[in-house]
Amino acid sequence: MKQYISQNSVFKNSAWTWSDKRQQWYLRQFLEVQPDLNFRNPKVREALKNVLIFYMDMGIDGFRVDAVPYLVEDKLLRDEPRSNDPTQEPNDHDYLDHIYTMNTDETYDVVYEFRDIVENYTKEHGGDARILMSEAYAPLDKTMRYYGTANGSRLGAHFTFNFFFVGPNLNTSNAYTFESLVYEWIDNLPSIYVSNWDMGNHDNRRVTTRFGKEDVDGFNMLLHLLPGIGITYYGEEIGQEDGEVTYEQGQDPAARNRSTFEQTSRDFERTPFQWDNSTNAGFNEGNKTWLPVSEKYKETNLADEISTPGLSHYKIYKEILRKRQEDPARIGDTKIWSLSEDVLILKRSLEKTHIVVAFKLGWQNHTAPEYAFVPEIKCDTATVALTNVNSTHQIG
């Protein structure tokens, strides 16, 4: 097999590794222990088909298919051109423009075949639909293709993760940012498919850490009352923050290979869920956990949020999920707009019934929230149905 002159791993350095045992080079776009499969080989596809069926036979209802853009590489194994990004070093992944190893046409064909497998399984065995969720950090047009063709003639993942909300940060985002991101997604998604909304995941700092405790309730309201699927990364329902992990405790191989552990490690957002204030936050009964439990577990844990007499992030989260079952949130029209840099309004409407979220972004300080006026609501009465934990408004 020809060795690429130009092909870098996602985790830096060459994506080609020499095997003494086989006396061959093999491609691995991530770690050396993760050789890429040859999806052009029908035996490989058949084996993965059997993997899907094996787990569906066990009762699994769905699959999160990770790193989908990397499935199928160029048949001719052509060298990839330079990206001409001056900030990238020659051994960085983004030093190259990955036109031959990411989001190839054949990759979409594989995803469409996976969809056929799970659809046929449900038809044959009955029960609820088994679903595919694809992870693709890809340009918008390529992301949408993972859903399927625009006219639905071929179906791919039931949804591909919408990471638009994962990107914004305190330095560059405001209410206008989020308004724009919502409409950019909705306007580009073919109407036959279902939107989804996601604020955090295992590769990015937690929502509470990125934006602050005062905003986690507002973002949960926003995500779960927008039309479509609301996605929760564990801990967002209780306002869990990033944990504390030293280099010696770290497990993320991508970060341990670098001198920038604090900046690049994904361990901080992966620390265990904080169930209660017992040993290891109730996560296990052993001497330690794979990653250390955050020191914040005694002040933020599920048991305390359940038992507290007043509002908590968890109680608010549960009430949001009840509100999303109401008809305006389920099938109503959607409008989202910014009153200022720091006040974002979401309205879901069905006939004369409205659900309105008025979200004052905590890191912006331009508008006094008690004076924010919500236009376009014409009704005789309006009731405060839910607030965040720090609100001065009274429910009812």
For residue 208, give the nearest of 170, 171, 251 by alpha carbon.
170
Q: Cα–Cα distance between 52 and 114 in angstroms, integer?
A: 8
Structure tokens at 151: 């006219």
Q: Is 176 left (phi over 0), alpha (psi -120 to 50) or beta?
A: alpha
Q: Provide Rg for the chain, Cα atoms.
A: 23
Give helix then strand counts, H and E, for the chain: 11, 10
Q: What single DSSP character describes residue 68?
A: G
Is 32 considered catalytic here?
no
- Determine whether 135 is an active site residue: yes
The helix/strand/coil state of 345 is strand
Lookup result for tokens 């014409």 = 378
Under DSSP, the state recorded for 199 is -
How far is residue 183 CA from its own chain's centroid? 18
Helices (H), the chain: 42-57, 105-125, 140-145, 175-188, 207-211, 213-225, 253-256, 261-264, 302-307, 313-323, 327-331
DSSP 35: P
- Closest alpha carbon to 8 in 73, 87, 95, 70: 95
Task: Compute the distance between CA of residue 19 and CA of residue 67 in angstroms, rounded to an integer.
Answer: 24
Catalytic choice (57, 66, 85, 94): 66
Question: Of residues 135, 198, 215, 236, which has the active-site annotation?
Answer: 135
Instruction: Count the alpha carbons within 13 Å of 216 in the hemisphere toward its beta carbon.
Output: 25
Q: Are 229 and 195 in contact (CB under 8 A)?
A: yes
Number of CB atoms found within 10 A of residue 228's CB = 18
Catalytic (active-site) positions: 66, 135
